[in-house]
Amino acid sequence: MSGSLSDSLSPPDTTVASDKPYHSKRPHKKSRAGCKNCKARKVKCDEARPICRSCKLRKNECVYPDIPEPASAAASSKPRSAPDSVDNAPTSSASPSSAFEEWCNGGGHSHTPAQSNALVRASTASSTTPHVTDACPPELKNDLQLLREPLFRPAVARDDFDMRLLWFYTTATCSSFSIEYAADRPVETIMRTRIVHHAFQTPFLMQSLFALAALHLQNLNQEIDPKRALAYRATSFEGYRKAVAEADPETFPAMITNSLILTALSSQAFRDADGKDLYIVDWMIVWRGIGLIIQTMGFERFLASGLQTLFYRPPMDLDDAAKHIPNTLLYMVSSIPESDPDFQETQTYYDTLKYLGALYQNLHDGGLGPIMVLRIITWFTFIPNGFVELGRQRRPRALVIIAFYAAFLKLANSVWWIKGIGQRTLRDVCRHLGPEWSYVLNMPMHAINTEDREDLVRLILADPEWLSADKPATEDPLAAAVDEHPTWTVFLGKEVDLSCNFELHAPDGELMP
């Protein structure tokens, strides 16, 4: 008994324990940024955005907590020097040429700690952050033009090239859909801030921004890996198609933005030597997709998105426009025999010619100003659905009308993603229709060999004495249009009173500056 007790009190045999293999703890990184569900279940969260793997498998709503800035960091923060401060970030994009030079010199991805810190602070400034001007003296508030930057939460790993593309987009490419020359450029501001905010939350939109920036650089003769550029477009389109099929209201802002960006991305086919003949028909359908997305969203939700500024279109007076339709085209439609399949589509042709007449009218009265360029670019969003189907069928009369429109597109070559579309379309249509339709294609055929803009206007208007009546470039064309027509026409045929509805709201509901 005593021996047993002594044995039980003696130290354990260490030789047995030493024979057991030693297993070190798995390396891990402690984090408090996991989602609320994983915290409640006390499991490791992979912190994937917008939904972690655990919540995805369990089909739970994944909600991440807001992580406040540590008190020690806030207490030790010091005023930053001017080059390192977000307050000194430019509020308007640099010109593509200057941004392009900086790109070639390695711009867009900072190497110095000061530049890296500035980029992180600019990217992580959320719309919920208190307004910086609240702490400024009253006399300085009017001189500061600050932007609420999107919350930087990359859902997937981004490499150096991705970040350079995003930098080029926010510096230059974001102005690709802007027509304003004034200091206040609302379209450009939305494309730089709110759209990037949605892109960080919606991967397919981020891929579209990368693809658009890459395409812009390619058009500036910068070498971009074609496989990588194609991968951006393919990934974007796949995600966009899935989002359209799911029709999740949370992705509606990204979907409507992506539908606009696709019009620019798809334009590259016109500039490819081996591009599809009569690609203008496919491009016309891409433009019509914008209206379909708005219809899916619903008009009220579209207005609530705060993105209606991107889709402004100058109104048209169709009654007056009908007086400016070229006689050649009127005769082409009025002389359709009853035995021709096009006879049943006569009214569709007349309705489309009214919209073409609006281009003639405004070119004659207003000249080659930015608003005219906007009218030309957005023309496909006005035409009847029946005409789109006639174009898909490659009806000769529909192609003739498209050829006349293509001459106007050559006037919009100042927009980088429009350049070349008019010329390619003119050649495709004239070659496709052949001599049989040459009697009505006289103007488009001559437009192929006309490069000077004013000479092209004289050719289109059939007025050798025409002189440009452009407004000064320093005038804000958007403001001028609002003064003349205090409504914004959108793709469902409805109008929004600017005095009541033109308010830009931040994601937190506050009115944006």
364-406 tens-digit pLDDT? 988 888 899 999 999 999 999 999 999 999 999 999 999 999 9
CB 346 within 8 A of CB 387: no
User: Quick one: 185 and 255 in the same domain?
Assistant: yes
CB neighbour list of residue 42: distance below 8 Å, 6 or more residues apart: none
Q: Which pLDDT tens digit goes with each residue over 40-59?
A: 888 888 888 889 988 888 88
pLDDT at 431: 96
Q: Which of 255, 278, 311 is the last residue of a domain?
A: 311
Residue 94 buriedness (CB in 10 A; 0-12 / 13-18 / 19+): middle
Q: In sequence order, what are the residues at sequence separation of 6 or more whose Cβ sits closer than 8 angstroms to the Cβ of residue 73?
A: none
In-domain check, residue 132 = no
What pLDDT score was predicted for residue 312? 86
Q: Quick one: 335 and 449 in the same domain?
A: yes
315 pLDDT higher than 70: yes
pLDDT at 442 over 60: yes
Going by pLDDT thresholds of 50, 70 and 90, the confidence category of residue 102 is low
Average pLDDT for residues 328-340, to the nearest whole number?
A: 96
- Using DSSP, state whether 258 is helix, strand or coil: helix
Residue at 128 is within a domain: no
Distance of CA 288 to the CA centre of its chain: 16
Report whether 190 contacts 135 (CB < 8 A).
no
- For residue 495, the cross-strand partners are 489
The amino acid occupying position 90 is P
- The answer to whether residues 175 and 296 belong to one domain is yes
Residue 508: pLDDT above 60?
no
Q: What is the pLDDT of residues 240-286, one digit of tens each?
A: 999 999 999 999 999 999 999 999 999 999 998 888 999 999 999 99
Structural domain including 297 reads 95-110+152-311
Q: Which of 14, 49, 67 is the last residue of a domain?
A: 67
pLDDT at 479 over 70: no
Hey, what are 280's tokens? 């203008």
Average pLDDT score over residue span 280-303: 92
Same domain flag for 62 and 176: no
Q: Is the model's pLDDT at 208 over the cut of 50?
A: yes
For residue 424, is pLDDT > 80?
yes
Answer yes or no: do 166 and 195 share one domain: yes
Burial of 29 (0-12, 13-18, 19+ CB in 10 A): exposed
Residues 106 and 227 in one domain: yes
Structural domain includes residue 2: no
Residue type at 255 in one-letter notation = M
Whole-number pLDDT of residue 432:
96
Asked whether residue 224 is domain-assigned, the answer is yes
The pLDDT-based confidence of 89 (bands split at 50, 70, 90) is very low
For residue 431, the SS3 value is helix
CB 189 within 8 A of CB 147: yes
For the beta carbon of residue 138, count every other beta carbon within 10 angstroms: 7
Pair 407, 363 in one domain = yes
Indicate the range of 33-37, 182-186, 312-316 predicted with least confidence. 182-186
The Cα–Cα gap between 243 and 231 comes to 18
Question: Residue 127: what pLDDT?
Answer: 37
Q: Averaged over 408-416, what is the pLDDT?
A: 95
Residue 418 has pLDDT above 50, yes or no: yes
The answer on 340 and 307 residing in a single domain is no
Determine the Cα–Cα distance for residues 120 and 112; give it in Å rounded to an integer.
12
Residues 370 and 234 in one domain: no
Average pLDDT over residues 303-326: 91
Q: Is residue 207 part of a domain?
A: yes
**What is the 3-state secondary structure of 205-220?**
HHHHHHHHHHHHHHHC
Taking alpha carbons only, the member of 399, 405, 408 closest to residue 432 is 399
| Helices first, then strands: H and E counts in the chain | 28, 2
Q: Same domain for 357 and 340?
A: yes
User: In total, how many domains does the chain have?
Assistant: 3
5-52 pLDDT, tens digit each: 344 434 444 444 445 555 555 555 667 788 988 888 888 888 888 899
Instruction: Express as a percent the part of the chain with pLDDT over 70.
Output: 67
Q: What confidence tier does 129 reach under pLDDT thresholds 50, 70, 90?
A: very low
Same structural domain, 173 and 286: yes
SS3 495: strand
- 454 within domain boundaries: yes
> Would residue 494 count as lying in a domain?
no
Q: Is 31 exposed, middle or buried (0-12, 13-18, 19+ CB in 10 A)?
A: exposed
Structure tokens at 109: 């991805």
When mean pLDDT is compared across 93-97, 311-315, 503-507, the lowest value belongs to 503-507
Whether residues 466 and 415 share a domain: the answer is: yes
Per-residue pLDDT at 477 exceeds 50? no
Whether residue 131 has pLDDT greater than 90: no
In the chain, what percentage of residues exceed pLDDT 90? 50
pLDDT score, position 44: 86
pLDDT one-digit tens code per residue, 64-87: 887 655 544 444 444 444 333 333
The Cα–Cα gap between 85 and 115 comes to: 9
Residue 249 lies inside a defined structural domain of this protein: yes
Residue 92: other Cβ atoms inside 10 A: 16
Assess whether pLDDT exceeds 70 at residue 163: yes
User: What is the structure's pLDDT at 47?
Assistant: 86
Of 273, 295, 311, the last residue of a domain is: 311
**How high is the pLDDT of residue 27?**
55
Helix H, strand E, coil C: the string for 224-242 is CCHHHHHHHHHHHHHHHHH
pLDDT at 101: 53
d(CA 349, CA 343): 10
Q: What is the CATH number of the domain that holds 47?
A: 4.10.240.10
